[in-house]
Chain A
């Protein structure tokens, strides 16, 4: 039940975006992907989700090449929450979450009570049942993000790929969402900007710079003042937190 990448290269319009990334995400772990804007995090996630075909190398789901699998088989295993999900269509919150059941239905199979239960559960898990019948486009950015997470949960996946899921959230919901993702019995790959949240909630971290994976390992091994200076270009002090026992980064001026 793992996702892996072997020497993946992906370029767009002649520019190399992902350059030779090899990575294995273990079953059940929460894997954080760090790196500055434009370092190739989103593109790597799309390749790992089967949405982009790499020019060379393979993305593997339990050892099988993702790009030889039917989209529907992939969608029953891997759910994706994109950074910005937008639509002009006046679709209600519950209808968005119902989209998550799409890969579990063929042309003729009908909607069942079990589908309804899964959908309502998913919405309850992100704490948005009270928004159930509201139009999606009237929600705040953070609420939209949580609805998309509920949609992904309704897919009932074994793997969850999230591209900066905490981007628009207030701090309470950032903590809640990441705690939820960490507690889910699924393998998760999460692109994050906040190093401290990554240290708190991820089992392992990968760091990308200019399309390459330059570090990979436990948060206390990966997050160092030297790495932060090299990749993000800022000075920082890294120490173990006295409160939660995880690594904590303080930025210096």
Chain B
């Protein structure tokens, strides 16, 4: 695909993302027109001085916009994590949720929250990060370095079960009734209650993650034919693997600590992006991040429209899209073997 067409495509997805964010801001008990949202943003930046209703402006700034932006960041971060894991483990089914890394992050976050280790955004994230790393190590030790696709997935299943059980255990032994209800939140994900500090944290982590991954784009390309091939192309395999796995764990953990475990975004989006821009990581990674952002904002919109005025957990929406996709890849991987 030529550079120009790629640029036009990227611009189109970016435009679609902005429109989707404007639409997402409009949904709720008080519907808000996209034009109002646009005006509120340009007013705040200082470009315009359009008179708006106070309450609308407050709803946009205090609740809706932070939620929509966080959905975009979350989609970008999880999709990016999926792309990295698929390349590094050479496994088309790898992604944070399937490998149990999201479950580990949930356990870490819930432990911090309920065992009284503090509940600020940063401490929650650190807990989630520790949990994600433990889950990662667990999966890699269990699957071994042979990296047969099915072994890695089985190890991921074991990790998911283990850490979800631990989460439920911690919640049911140390939480009150109110907190027990929130276990659903950690298991399925929700964008409710997102505030600006969450957005700042997530945007910092995603921006840094994308930058580090892009710096390793050539190294990731070199993994196409496996670790020995990467090393014979001059890649310090151990170092690249450690850095990339840490970045993946950090991005996943940050998202899980803010919105809970959301599955299958990391699976679906990288494949779709690879299909359009090809396997080279210098194009694949930005395309994956952008598409992931768009997908998650749309999923959030869907989660609020399907059974309105009630809200479906967003993880239900991504799973309903992701599981059929997962099945197709699994089937194709099996027939290729």
Chain A residues within CB distance 8 Å of chain B: 46, 49-51, 70-76, 78-80, 82, 85-92, 95-96, 99-100, 102-103, 105, 107, 155
What 8 pairs across the A-B complex have the smallest Cβ distances? A75-B234, A103-B234, A72-B234, A80-B232, A102-B233, A89-B279, A85-B225, A71-B234
- Say which residue of A50, A73, A79, A86 sits within 8 Å of B225 (CB atoms): A86
25 A–B contact pairs at CB < 8 A? A51-B231, A70-B234, A73-B234, A75-B232, A75-B233, A79-B232, A80-B229, A82-B228, A82-B229, A85-B225, A85-B229, A87-B224, A88-B92, A88-B336, A89-B224, A95-B279, A95-B280, A96-B224, A99-B224, A99-B225, A99-B233, A102-B234, A102-B235, A107-B215, A107-B218
In the bound complex, how far is the Cα of B336 from the Cα of A91, in angstroms?
A: 16
Residue B278, interface by CB 8 Å: yes
Residue B236, interface by CB 8 Å: yes
Contact between chains at B224 and A74 (CB < 8 Å): no
Interface centre among B216, B222, B228 (most CB of A within 10 A): B228
In the bound complex, how far is the Cα of B228 from the Cα of A49, in angstroms?
A: 10
Interface centre among B219, B226, B229 (most CB of A within 10 A): B229
- Say which residue of B221, B236, B274 sits within 8 Å of A71 (CB atoms): B236
Q: Which residues of chain A are near B228, meaning CB under 8 Å?
A: 46, 51, 80, 82
Given contacts A71-B236, A102-B222, A105-B218, contact A91 B231 (CB under 8 A): no
In the bound complex, how far is the Cα of B236 from the Cα of A51, in angstroms?
A: 11
Q: Which residues of chain A are near B235, meaning CB under 8 Å?
A: 71-72, 75, 102
Closest Cβ–Cβ distance, residue B318 to chain A (whole Å): 24
Contact between chains at B225 and A87 (CB < 8 Å): yes
Residue B151, interface by CB 8 Å: no
Residue B90, interface by CB 8 Å: yes
In the bound complex, how far is the Cα of B313 from the Cα of A152, in angstroms?
A: 50
Chain B residues within CB distance 8 Å of chain A: 90, 92, 215-216, 218-219, 221-222, 224-226, 228-229, 231-237, 274, 278-280, 333, 336
Q: Which residues of chain A are near B231, meaning CB under 8 Å?
A: 50-51, 71
In the bound complex, how far is the Cα of B219 from the Cα of A86, in angstroms?
A: 18
Closest Cβ–Cβ distance, residue B249 to chain A (whole Å): 22
Which secondary structure dominates chain B's binding surface?
A: helix
Q: Kindly report which residue of chain B lies nearest to residue A96, judged by CB atoms.
A: B224
Q: Which residues of chain A are near B92, meaning CB under 8 Å?
A: 88
Q: Which residues of chain A are near B226, meaning CB under 8 Å?
A: 87
Contact between chains at A102 and B225 (CB < 8 Å): no
- Say which residue of A51, A76, A88, A96 sits within 8 Å of B90 (CB atoms): A88
Interface centre among B218, B221, B222, B235 (most CB of A within 10 A): B218
Q: Which residues of chain B are near A46, meaning CB under 8 Å?
A: 228
Closest Cβ–Cβ distance, residue A112 to chain B (whole Å): 14
- Say which residue of B219, B234, B274 sits within 8 Å of A90 (CB atoms): B274
Given contacts A75-B232, A102-B235, contact A90 B225 (CB under 8 A): no
Q: Which residues of chain A are near B233, meaning CB under 8 Å?
A: 75, 99-100, 102-103, 155
In the bound complex, how far is the Cα of B251 from the Cα of A195, in angstroms?
A: 55
Q: Kindly report which residue of chain A lies nearest to residue B219, judged by CB atoms.
A: A102
In the bound complex, how far is the Cα of B90 from the Cα of A88, in angstroms?
A: 8
In the bound complex, how far is the Cα of B233 from the Cα of A78, in angstroms?
A: 9
Q: Which residues of chain A are near B215, meaning CB under 8 Å?
A: 107
In the bound complex, how far is the Cα of B234 from the Cα of A100, in angstroms?
A: 10
In the bound complex, how far is the Cα of B90 from the Cα of A85, in angstroms?
A: 13
Contact between chains at B229 and A76 (CB < 8 Å): no
Q: Which residues of chain B are near A74, meaning CB under 8 Å?
A: 234
Q: Which residues of chain A are near B232, meaning CB under 8 Å?
A: 49-51, 75, 78-80
Q: Which residues of chain A are near B224, meaning CB under 8 Å?
A: 87, 89, 91, 96, 99
Q: Which residues of chain A are near B222, meaning CB under 8 Å?
A: 99, 102
Q: Kindly report which residue of chain B lies nearest to residue A49, judged by CB atoms.
A: B232
Closest Cβ–Cβ distance, residue B180 to chain A (whole Å): 43
In the bound complex, how far is the Cα of B274 from the Cα of A51, in angstroms?
A: 30
Given contacts A46-B228, A71-B235, contact A90 B279 (CB under 8 A): yes
Closest Cβ–Cβ distance, residue B242 to chain A (whole Å): 14
Q: Which residues of chain A are near B336, meaning CB under 8 Å?
A: 88
Q: Kindly report which residue of chain A lies nearest to residue B215, judged by CB atoms.
A: A107
Q: Kindly report which residue of chain A lies nearest to residue B232, judged by CB atoms.
A: A80
Beyond contacts A50-B231, A102-B219: 17 other A-B pairs, Cβ-Cβ < 8 A, are: A51-B232, A70-B234, A70-B236, A72-B236, A80-B229, A85-B229, A87-B90, A87-B226, A88-B92, A90-B278, A91-B224, A91-B278, A91-B279, A92-B278, A95-B278, A102-B235, A107-B216
